[in-house]
Amino acid sequence: MRTALKNKGAFGHQLNRMNDSNYLLRRKVIDIIYELKKHVELPRIEVRIVSGGKDSICGYAYMGGNIVHINEKHMNRKHLYQVVLHEILHAVLATEHDDKCDLMCEYVRDITDEKALEIFIKYFKG
């Protein structure tokens, strides 16, 4: 089931074929994951880059499935770090949206990467 989900788009998005440019985009997300592993214990997370679908969706995750898909249109935007942390919380801890939380609200809020990391770590620490 996990293999089928990591290779299946949602919300009208399609997975991008792997090539040099998509590898570099995917690598940006993986580098963030490796940086996070210095702070919390994370399982292997499958990362895919998607396109098409609703442009307003920065990324999505399969709840508790350790699978994250990031929309290529948002890869070079200011809040990529925050989006990746948000989606990892969905993917690993099956964390639901919370409008009271600056990181887990449904829409991107203007917070610093440091603040996003602080909130992220609190979710993992319990």
Per-residue CA distances from 76 to 70, 72, 81 (Å):
11, 8, 10
Q: Which domains does the chain have, with CATH numbers?
A: 2-125 (3.30.2010)
3-state secondary structure of 48: strand
pTM score:
0.89
3-state secondary structure of 13: strand
pLDDT tens digits, residue range 40-83?
999 999 999 998 887 778 899 999 999 999 999 888 888 999 99
Spatial separation of the C-alpha atoms in residues 46 and 6, rounded to whole Å: 7
